[in-house]
Amino acid sequence: MAGFREYKIGTRIFALAFGGSMCITLLLPSINIAAVSSTDIALAKSLSAGHETGFNLDDPFLQGKNKPYVVALKADPKSGQPLAEPLTVYVYQAGTTFPPGILHPRILGAGIEELSVQQGHIGEAKKDAGAVFTVSKGEYQGKAHSFIDNLTASKGWSPADVLRAAKDEDISQAGKGKTMFVREGCWWCHTLLPEETQDWQVFGAPPMLGDFNGESPTAFGSDRKAPDLMHVGSRNSSKEWMMMHFFNPRLVQPHSIMPRFDYLWGEKDADGKAINFAQWRTEYDEYREGKRVTAPDVPSYAKDSEIRSLIDFMLSLK
């Protein structure tokens, strides 16, 4: 009865596979992911992205509303005294929803939670008035931790003070840019999750679990048709390259399959002049046909344009 023996083997393999999958189903929910401590990367990421990115009532049409600014502060916004080193602060103007870690400090992880509440006074931050945060270093029960520090409570710096003191080039709109990344479907082709198997020299080390605390959504991407972008700002920090590549990827990568995102420039350039897309196209076609030596220049972008925030987001991915 050789056939019967094979049935028995099959039954055992099935039992093993089924038992294994039941273990995963029953055990996974009992792992407390909130107990994983936020890394510095997670703190920076969630403070710069704000509450959440995607379909929510704060920004139903994904226009990048309700987002904080990241400011490299070079002087004390109250006294005007220069700071020894630029300080990265996250500016939540009045009405901007705070990120999950501020609303639910428990998810920051042990140590970080206590320090952020007791020393950082994050509980005192009020949405109606807005607040300015930074990441500070502290010690809890003999262990060093980073924590979120509410500078509006400790130093009296208001969002308006900080924005008045900062120059536009010191302000990053990476939070709004992440909304553009989600809305424009960059994740159809790009991942934000380098793997162990990829070339670390080029794509950077894979992230750790604690890098994602409080991030929503993570924008990992579905599958990879294009380079991973997790650390793209480390290997390419050229704003000019980004401008050319987004306006028309084939200006810098002749065989690129990436679509152009020239419409993110909006209607006007940095000087408030209307952008003439049709003329640009004509000149570009002439260049491709060899009737011009150089491609036409890519228009400068307005400081509140969507492309500005997307490039700020790309350059923030260090």
96 within 8 A of 130, measured Cβ to Cβ: yes
Strand pairing category for 69-75 and 171-172 = antiparallel
Cβ neighbours for 302, distance < 8 A, ≥ 6 positions apart: 265, 266, 268, 269, 270, 272, 308
Decide whether 145 or 190 has the Cβ nearer to ligand HEC.
Answer: 190
How many residues bind to ligand HEC according to rule CB under 6 A?
22
Provide the 10 A C-beta neighbour count for residue 295: 18
Which x/- pattern, by CB under 6 A, does the window 255-294 give for ligand HEC? Answer: -xxxx-x---------------------------------
Would the CA dihedral through 107, 109, 115, 120 be positive or negative?
Answer: negative
Minimum distance from residue 38 beta carbon to ligand HEC (Å): 25
Instruction: Give the nearer residue to ligand HEC in terms of CB position, either 170 or 184.
Output: 184
> What is the rounded distance in angstroms from the CA atom of residue 235 to the CA atom of residue 199?
13
Give the C-alpha separation, 11 to 187, whole Å.
Answer: 41
Toward ligand HEC, which CB reaches closer, 163 or 258? 258
Using the rule CB under 6 A, is 315 a contact of ligand HEC? Answer: no
CB of 311: closest distance to ligand HEC in angstroms?
A: 9
In a 10 Å sphere around its CB, with 0-12 CB exposed, 13-18 middle and 19+ buried, how is residue 102 labelled?
A: buried
Q: Which of residues 203-232 bind ligand HEC (CB under 6 A)?
A: 225-227, 229, 232
Contact, 101 vs 133, CB < 8 A? Answer: no
Residue 56 CB, nearest approach to ligand HEC (Å)? 20
Give min distance, CB of 176 to ligand HEC, in A: 13
Counting contacts by CB under 6 A, is residue 236 touching ligand HEC?
A: yes
Tell me whether residue 124 or residue 304 sits nearer to ligand HEC (CB atom). Answer: 304
Distances (CA, A) of 123 to 44, 98, 129, 243, 258: 18, 11, 13, 40, 44
User: x/- binding map, residues 161-200, to ligand HEC, per CB under 6 A?
Assistant: --------------------x--xxx-xxx----------
Q: Tell me if 87 contacts ligand HEC by CB under 6 A.
A: no
Residue 138, Ramachandran bin (φ over 0: left; ψ between -120 and 50: alpha; else beta): beta
- Interaction site with ligand HEC (CB under 6 A): 181, 184-186, 188-190, 225-227, 229, 232, 236, 249, 253, 256-259, 261, 310, 314
